Structure 1
Amino acid sequence: MKKTTFATLDGLRGLAAVAVFTRHVPSRAWAWWLPGSYLAVDLFFMISGFVLAHAYGERLNRDLSTGRFMLARFIRLWPMYILGTLAVLFVHIAGTPAGQPVAWHGLVPSALFGLFMLPTPPAVSGVTSPFPLNGPAWSLFWELTISIVFAVLGPRMRAGRLALVVAVGAGLLVATAGTFGSLDSGFDWSNFLGGGGRVVFTFFAGVAIYRVQQARPSRGVPAWIWAIVLGAVFAGHVAPAWRAIYDVAMVVAVFPTIVYMGACREPQGWLRWLALALGKISYPLYVIQVALISGASLACARLFGIEFSALSHVGTFGLLAFGMMLALVLARFYDEPVRAWLTRRSKLGTRSVRAAEAAAP
């Protein structure tokens, strides 16, 4: 019987989500300590490719249609995403200064496009973010896009074709890094296509890593080693002229090693519990981070007349701790029940949804 969890990969996803959170907190110190934290998205994509190949590879070859597969993916991602999006909408409305009208002309179309996890054209939203109400959702858009490609190509993806797709993806990755000076792209309309340039290699490299890991498993090294390596990647300081080369090297060489070796060795005891807990909070934390940070900034301004950044590290660690606890609560009492209800309503079957538990940021 197939194993249903990869605890090390869960833990790495959770640590990557924490790194992304610290990147968006208005604190210059964190931006300096983890300058490469945007590479967490590339790790998310790679682990998703690995997990979806594990959960759905055989079924797509056998009896699972593309439509049912995408329905399972949508059920996995939508409930927490829409909660985070609506929370940001509420903060925007609440944050409108007294005596000024709410900017409905931008908020309404952004909410309507966002409802279906679609990017909002800048001419409609009035801003340059593809997802004005939940900025990190750009990666979810590319996640769903590449999932469609995987579902269509999956049944025909033999080793040679998979190698070709990975090679093409590597070319796109290099082109993206060269165009934008790094792999920090996808979050703005000016670099939105960079998200597509990042996801092809990383996702299908994850698929390839799964196949190699199944055919040639390794004993590996203790799981916690890879947490240290991942932190070192995020903390890597290089000159701007070398940033593109550094990013590509990390994603092409280091991340595949982390994912392959991490999948081969499971943590034990309390480390396993911690890794699974980090995996559980990773996606909720990722999609509610904007609401948490903007809400905290609004509260500081309204209640204390200060900027959130004035709280320095105390504010960052406090908000992160609160966000992680909130993510656990939401996962248990909101996300899981809602997904279970949607699964029953769709008559999809719990097997399809449970199989994708780890296939989200």
Structure 2
Amino acid sequence: MDGLRGVAALCVVLVHIPTLGGKSTQWEGSHAAVDLFFMISGFVLAHAYDRRFATGYSIRQFVVDRLIRLYPLYILGLGLGVLTLLVRPLPIGRAAESVAFGLAFLPVPHRGHLYPLNFPMWSLVYELAANIMFAVGWRFLRGRWLVALVASAAVGIIAYVLLRGGAATGSMWSGAIIATLRVIFGFFTGVLLYRHAPRPAQRESVAAPVLLGAVVVFLFALPSPIRTEMATRVRDLLLLGILPILVYVGARFAPGRGVRTIVVLSGVASYAIYAIHVPLSVLVRAAIPFNPSPTVAVSFLVVVTALALVVDKVFDLPARAWLKRLQRAHGSVLVAGRSAAPPSPAPERP
């Protein structure tokens, strides 16, 4: 799961930085990496919180835990987005509005990008909404009702993609319908896989994570063999259908010693990569003149990954620890007269 998150994060970077790498980095299927994030998140959160909800864990505490997990890196990405105003200015009113709503973790409430200063953050607000839906509906979103929800979202995606356009949207208000369907399908498919798919004992393997990562790269980079709008739409639907298989296979294997460190670190870096890569690429492009090329794109991937690992250690972990201490100081860890279980140590991807 960590390896899948890391590879998916790097694929997202490649589709978002054509100004660094040229047209060759515009991987046509990389938007499906966000759907993979949603699916892994559903799987991991069901693993981390199902038993807690069964023992009285409160919805309020769950929401606080999720905000603590998401907010520090989100606010760092917003801060970098503010810096991009120096090289890519917005009208003063638009910029002030973007900052004000951004600080509150809210999208700008009118047409255009939900988060103009760092547009990939759109997926976080949709995922947080799915997280709350998961917590509120935990008791009845099970069995046939959970299957019905996932199936309804899948039918909605198929209808939307075939009739109105592809699934590679979500960052703008015009894509709100398909973005909602994508997060419901992805997140609750992950929950469904965790609860109902047969899970044999994990086996350690060096080859399996490497092969699985290669499959992800191949699927997200593969261009449409037929250059028509309908062919692109069918490809988007096929990708969404393949993702549950990737998650299921990923859950069956643990990385062997030869690749364990790389796999774990890629998972650790994935959220920070996602949070900072767009504003960072804008700032790099403004500060260092160069000709876009695949070499530049790969160099940027290496730099942003290394920086993400540093950010995780020196900023995200300390910030989350401080927020947890602040939370405890205000007594919000007490639920129904007893201490709530601490948040899961496993890093969940937004």
Distance 1:83 1:202, change over 3 A: same
Q: Secondary structure at the match of 1:156?
A: coil
One-letter amino acid of the structure 2 residue matched with residue 178 of structure 1: L
Distance 1:199 1:72, change over 3 A: same
Asked if 2 retains the 8 angstrom alpha-carbon contact of 1:13 and 1:44, the reply is yes
Supply the distance in 1 between the matched residues of 2:200 and 2:233 (Cα, whole angstroms). Answer: 32
Aligned twin of 1:28? 22
Which 5+ residue runs of structure 2 have no aligned equivalent? 334-338
Distance 1:179 1:73, change over 3 A: farther
1:223 equivalent among 209, 216, 233:
209
One-letter amino acid of the structure 2 residue matched with residue 334 of structure 1: F
1:291 equivalent among 268, 279, 288:
279
Q: Secondary structure at the match of 1:154?
A: coil
Asked if 2 retains the 8 angstrom alpha-carbon contact of 1:120 and 1:131, the reply is yes
Asked if 2 retains the 8 angstrom alpha-carbon contact of 1:110 and 1:131, the reply is yes
Length, aligned pairs only: 334
Q: CA deviation at 1:214?
A: 5.7
Supply the distance in 2 between the matched residues of 1:216 and 1:159 (Cα, whole angstroms). Answer: 20
TM-score for the superposition, normalised by structure 1: 0.87
Supply the distance in 1 between the matched residues of 2:149 and 2:88 (Cα, whole angstroms). Answer: 47
Q: CA RMSD in A?
A: 2.1
1:106 aligns with 2:94: yes
2:344 equivalent among 347, 350, 354:
354
Aligned twin of 2:301? 320
Residues 201-228 of structure 1 deviation map (CA, whole Å, 9 limit, x = unaligned) = 1111100111234655576982222112
1:344 aligns with 2:325: yes
- Greater shift, 215-224 or 226-235, is seen at 215-224
1:166 aligns with 2:150: yes
Supply the distance in 2 between the matched residues of 1:339 and 1:295 (Cα, whole angstroms). Answer: 26
Q: CA deviation at 1:74?
A: 0.6
Distance 1:180 1:19, change over 3 A: farther
2:32 equivalent among 39, 43, 68:
39
Correspondences of 1:238-317 after superposition (within 5 Å): 238=224, 239=226, 240-252=229-241, 254-300=242-288, 306=289, 308=290, 310-317=291-298
Q: Secondary structure at the match of 2:173?
A: coil
Residues 35-91 of structure 1 deviation map (CA, whole Å, 9 limit, x = unaligned) = 101110000000000000000012122211111101111110100110111111022
Asked if 2 retains the 8 angstrom alpha-carbon contact of 1:49 and 1:204, the reply is yes
Q: CA deviation at 1:355?
A: 4.1
Asked if 2 retains the 8 angstrom alpha-carbon contact of 1:181 and 1:243, the reply is no
Correspondences of 1:135-150 after superposition (within 5 Å): 135-150=119-134
Supply the distance in 2 between the matched residues of 1:109 and 1:178 (Cα, whole angstroms). Answer: 35
Residues 287-332 of structure 1 deviation map (CA, whole Å, 9 limit, x = unaligned) = 10122111012113xxxxx4x5x14223212222111111000000
Supply the distance in 1 between the matched residues of 2:160 and 2:251 (Cα, whole angstroms). Answer: 28
One-letter amino acid of the structure 1 residue matched with residue 218 of structure 2: A
TM-score for the superposition, normalised by structure 2: 0.89
Q: Secondary structure at the match of 2:105?
A: coil
One-letter amino acid of the structure 2 residue matched with residue 88 of structure 1: G
Distance 1:352 1:180, change over 3 A: farther
Q: CA deviation at 1:152?
A: 0.8
Supply the distance in 1 between the matched residues of 2:179 and 2:271 (Cα, whole angstroms). Answer: 18
Q: Secondary structure at the match of 1:266?
A: strand
Supply the distance in 2 between the matched residues of 1:82 and 1:331 (Cα, whole angstroms). Answer: 13
Asked if 2 retains the 8 angstrom alpha-carbon contact of 1:23 and 1:31, the reply is yes
Supply the distance in 1 between the matched residues of 2:188 and 2:196 (Cα, whole angstroms). Answer: 12
Supply the distance in 2 between the matched residues of 1:13 and 1:59 (Cα, whole angstroms). Answer: 25
1:198 equivalent among 182, 185, 199:
182
2:162 equivalent among 178, 183, 190:
178
Asked if 2 retains the 8 angstrom alpha-carbon contact of 1:14 and 1:278, the reply is yes
- Greater shift, 192-201 or 280-289, is seen at 192-201
Asked if 1 retains the 8 angstrom alpha-carbon contact of 2:52 and 2:341, the reply is no
Distance 1:214 1:51, change over 3 A: farther
Residue identity over aligned pairs, in percent, reads: 35
Higher percent of residues as helix: 1
One-letter amino acid of the structure 1 residue matched with residue 315 of structure 2: Y
Distance 1:187 1:180, change over 3 A: farther
Supply the distance in 2 between the matched residues of 1:251 and 1:96 (Cα, whole angstroms). Answer: 34
